[in-house]
Chains A and B, each alone.
Chain A
Amino acid sequence: MRAGNKLALILLLTPLLLWIGLLIIIPHIDMFLVSIRERVGVGKYQISLANYWTFLGEPLYLVTFARTAIMSVLATVLTLIIGFPVAFFIAKIAKGRLQSSLFLLCLVPFWVSELVRTFGWMILLRETGLISNLLQWLGLVDGPVELLYNDVAMIVGLVYTSMLFMVVPLVTTLESLDDSIIEAGYDLGGSTVSITREIIIPHAMPGIVSGSIVVFMLSLGNYLTPTMLGGKDSLWFTELIYSQFIVRFNWELGAAFGFMLLILSSAIIWLLLKLTGQTLEKTMT
């Protein structure tokens, strides 16, 4: 039995180690190694931080980096603010069939590709699009208006694309809040505002954190939405990575960019976990 156990452990451990080792850890180490080498001649490289100096020395890169971070945080906060009341409605107010069908309705948009969703927003927002036509018909504007290719359109798209990943964990944690806890809050004299602040939000914190982490990651690492909905000025950091890798074929600089993005996302997630006193294991399971 003991030997059998050991064998089983090894058999189960092998795929995990192969997966984590070959597809996650080693590729990232290799990416780091590529990012710290500098081409000094044909096929000749040396170790240097030149790529990182390039990153720090070029305002366009730095500004794009900061913009991507700030806009991702903004998209995350907006998703939370928009999604929370809906999650609360589904978890605590809707009952029976209404509850399950609303929950299902929340999932529907995410059964289809992000590309289709983005395409939908393009049809709605572009100059010849539905909303422009509606505004003209209402007499609010004189001619066609271009609502696409700006930061607002991009944020709308990012929020839309990640909504599911906020609403689902929120619904799950809010459902686990017993009605009688809320009733006890009222019974003891609490108001809606104070109960939301002192009881509902603290209870939902694990869901808020896990939803925020996922939404933030999806926004930060998104390429499609900023490319399709964002304007010429709203460059996204992933677009820089893409162009270094695929267009300019400068993998060294691209790898450095990739590493910067990884550090940024890790730092912000770490900060979020520290601020809310949660751990990754707790929020993700």
Chain B
Amino acid sequence: MIPSIRQPRALSLAYRAYVTLFFVYLALPLLVVSVFAFNDSLFPSLPWKGFTWAWFFGDQHPRIGVFHQEPILRALGNSGFIAFFVSLLSVAVGTSNAFLFNRYSFPLRNLLYVLMLMPLVIPGIVLGISILVFSSTMANGLEDSFGWDIGGLRPGLMLVILGQFSFITTIVTLVVSARLQKFDRSLEEAALNLGASPLTAIRTITLPFLLPALVGGFGVAFLMSFENFNTTLMLVGSDAPLTIAMFDRLKEGSTPLLNAVSLLLMLGSSALALVMISFQRKS
């Protein structure tokens, strides 16, 4: 219980032990993944055969490191490409949605709001197949009627971006809305009173206030896109993003190479998260 309520010592010790155990549970899988990235063995498991950097920098078969693995690097590039565009799109649409629901009343507003939340309660894989089915219906229809073959409607990068965008936008909308709700509209009125046009007021007053949420939303969208699996799985074409590429390798059997990739991923996303947090602190 809260500190002002005295509890029997044994109880509060047990509670602390439980919380500690919980964090061990959280850290353990990530810790073993990281440690075995340096195991000089073909398998990411005991026994420990000594320390090596080979799974990062090695170029001798069978120990070819991450930085010499063409397919992995390409998949990483695909992931970055997808994540960037998903984040950009969802921040743009999410911000527009936030303004819409925050400032306007219009017919069917409540219905649209619930629809906006829907992607959160649709299983990711269903989202994936529905978009897959619809885009191929479209592609087939266009090909039959006009003879157009639009590659973007076949499984591939474009569909992956659309699929991830379809649910990440909801999350970005909620992130931006939360901040916009805290905005004191009299600040905008003051700007108008001091001679700014409505658009200038938004650009010079409201958007700077929203900036932490926009950056935060971008970061969250980037991370979610980067690690998405279920929706992506159904929409992926030949240019697989990293999670799918790793999944395919993992099915064939794991080598410490996967640990090395994982460790780099952890470092990358932690760095991104830290940048986001420090940015949020500053503003």
Contact = CB atoms under 8 A, between A and B. Distances in A.
Given a CB threshold of 8 Å, the question of whether A touches B is answered with yes
Interface of A: 4, 8-9, 11-13, 15-16, 19-20, 23-28, 30-31, 34, 82, 85-86, 89, 92-93, 95, 102, 104-109, 111-117, 119-124, 126, 128-130, 133, 160, 163, 179, 182-183, 186, 192, 195, 213-214, 217-218, 220-224, 228, 238, 241-242, 245-246, 251, 254-255, 258, 261-262, 265-266, 269, 280-281, 284-285
B53 interface: no
Contacts of A16: 93, 96-97, 100, 112, 116
18 contacts: A23-B166, A108-B26, A112-B227, A112-B269, A114-B243, A116-B30, A122-B254, A123-B45, A128-B46, A186-B5, A213-B120, A217-B122, A224-B247, A246-B234, A258-B125, A258-B129, A261-B125, A281-B110
Identify the interface centre among A4, A28, A251: most chain B CB within 10 Å of its CB: A28
Interface in B102-135: 104, 106, 110, 112-127, 129-135
Given A4-B198, A223-B233, A112 B265 contact: yes
Contacts of A114: 227, 229, 243
B174 interface: yes
Contact of B29 (A107, A120, A128, A192): A120
Contacts of A28: 122, 130
Contacts of B3: 93, 95
Given A12-B96, A119-B258, A112 B126 contact: no
Contacts of B36: 123
Contacts, number: 254
B160 to A, nearest CB: 13
B123 A245 contact: no
Contacts of A261: 123, 125-126
B5 A111 contact: no
Contacts of B226: 113
A266 B125 contact: no
A113 B243 contact: yes
Given A27-B130, A31-B129, A223-B233, A111 B223 contact: yes
Identify the interface centre among B5, B15, B123, B230: most chain A CB within 10 Å of its CB: B123
Given A111-B273, A163-B26, A186-B5, A119 B122 contact: no
A89 B18 CA distance: 10
Contacts of B27: 105, 108-109
Interface residues of B, number: 90
Contact of B134 (A31, A163, A192, A241): A31
Given A30-B134, A115-B227, A182-B2, A266 B121 contact: yes
A12 B99 contact: yes
A31 B130 contact: yes
Contacts of A245: 129, 132, 234
Contacts of A93: 2-3
Contacts of B177: 285
Contacts of B1: 92, 182, 192, 195
Contacts of A4: 198
B120 A15 contact: no
The secondary structure that dominates the A interface is: helix
Contacts of A126: 45
Given A23-B165, A123-B33, A245-B129, A85 B15 contact: yes
B187 interface: no
B13 interface: no
Contacts of B269: 111-112
B136 to A, nearest CB: 8
Interface in B75-106: 92-93, 96-97, 99-100, 104, 106
Given A89-B15, A182-B1, A192-B1, A82 B30 contact: no
Nearest to A266: B121
B226 to A, nearest CB: 7
A265 B106 contact: no
Given A9-B106, A19-B165, A261-B126, 17 more contacts: A23-B165, A85-B18, A92-B2, A111-B269, A115-B229, A115-B250, A116-B266, A119-B29, A119-B250, A130-B45, A186-B5, A213-B121, A221-B123, A222-B230, A224-B230, A241-B129, A258-B125
A25 to B, nearest CB: 7
Contacts of B104: 8-9, 12
Interface string B15-56: 100110011011111111100100000011110000000000
Contacts of A265: 121-123
Given A179-B2, A258-B126, A115 B246 contact: yes
Given A16-B116, A285-B174, A112 B30 contact: yes
B137 interface: yes
